[in-house]
Amino acid sequence: MIRSKHESLLGVTESFFRSYLQHTRGASAHTVRAYRDTLKLFFLFLADQKRKTVADLAVDDIQSDAVLAFLDHVESRRGNSAVTRNCRLAAIRSFVQHLLRQDVTRAGQYGRILAIRNKKAIRRAAIYLEPEEARAVIGAVDRKSRHGERDHALLLFLYNTGARASETAQVKIVDLNLDSASVKITGKGGKQRSCPLWPVTVSELAALIGESDSSRPVFLNRRGAPITRFGIHTVVERNALKALARSPSLAMKRVSPHSIRHTSATHLLRAGVEINTIRGWLGHVSLETTNIYAEVDFETKAKALAQCDVPDVEKVPRRWRDQPALMDFLRTL
């Protein structure tokens, strides 16, 4: 239980990050940073509103009206989207749930914060490449250049596995099982999944790693150090730009490692792979996240429609407003 007035916001914040997020929940470093940034912004805003220093803030200062004011601030003053607002709220909710577990005497105070709803946001359709566009990007690599072999293997790996840029950067040679044509990928929260590899991907990776130490990362940068997710973005964007001559339609799309991830999922769906298998392939926790690919892929919808019988126009029931008996009934109410 949190006993003293200032007891502390510091203490409970430390336990939230160290005991709960990192150990109990096993959150990824990315999640920890995102929650850290949200609470830093919130505490600074709260201190300004209360006209006190952050060190003087107390748990009693964390009220629903303050949270609502902060959410309005991130939209109106910081220019954040509704999606970002909802992400900030999710971080604060998680923190407040931790407060509630530590101190049930303030259940009412915390409950009002937890009752704050997300703001409805427009969900943009996932950007993905058509097969010929994906081939154009991968084929744009100059394989005669010094680093062409790595770039080609990297793009093949991204398309084959649907791995995130951060996951790809972390893959080590020991994670590869080229004999069984598979790779072990470590995703968010340290969760691991196994992904099959095409023969061409196996061949490219085998040539890339040679007899290197199994403890080193598969993909290195130009200086021989582990490639970063920003470096992977650069490789993708550079070759997407080169592919424009071969596939002009790419000019209408923002090609990134994540759009290649969307491409992998969409092409798996078109190939008839069951949606729950795709969820495991991509490392999604929730099937709801994977369902966006079922929504955006028009080709799959068109194929499904083609398998349906065209309704007989003569058998279409009358519209409700053409049914006098129904209208008469409604007038009696």
- Distance between CA atoms of 48 and 2, rounded to whole angstroms? 24
Among 112, 135, 188, 193, the active-site one is 188
Catalytic status, residue 293:
yes
Q: Report pTM.
A: 0.66
Catalytic status, residue 284:
yes
Among 258, 262, 267, 279, the active-site one is 258
| Spatial CA neighbour of 28 closest among 191, 230, 195, 226 | 191
Write down all domains in the chain, each with its CATH number in brackets. 7-114 (1.10.150), 131-305 (1.10.443.10)
Among 20, 110, 159, 293, the active-site one is 293
What pLDDT score was predicted for residue 297? 60
Give Cα separations from 167 to 158, 243, 285, 312, 315 (angstroms).
10, 25, 15, 52, 54
- Distance between CA atoms of 71 and 73, rounded to whole angstroms? 5
258 Cα distance to chain centroid: 9
**Amino acid making up residue 152:** H
Among 85, 164, 267, 279, the active-site one is 164
| CB-based contact 17:34 (threshold 8 Å) | no
What pLDDT score was predicted for residue 302? 59
**Tens digits of pLDDT across the chain (333 residues):** 555 444 579 999 999 999 999 888 888 788 899 999 999 999 999 999 999 999 999 999 999 999 999 999 999 999 999 989 999 999 999 999 999 999 999 999 999 999 999 988 766 777 899 999 999 999 999 998 878 999 999 999 999 999 999 999 999 999 999 999 999 999 887 889 999 999 999 999 999 999 899 999 999 999 999 999 999 999 999 999 999 999 999 999 999 999 999 999 999 888 888 888 888 888 887 777 777 776 666 656 556 556 555 555 554 555 555 556 666 666 665
10 Cα distance to chain centroid: 30
Q: What string of DSSP letters covers 257-299?
A: HHHHHHHHHHHHHHTT--HHHHHHHHT-S-HHHHTHHHHH-HH
Among 73, 261, 262, 279, the active-site one is 261
| Spatial CA neighbour of 243 closest among 127, 138, 131, 160 | 138
| CB-based contact 8:2 (threshold 8 Å) | yes
E strands along the chain, which residues? Answer: 176-177, 182-186, 192-196
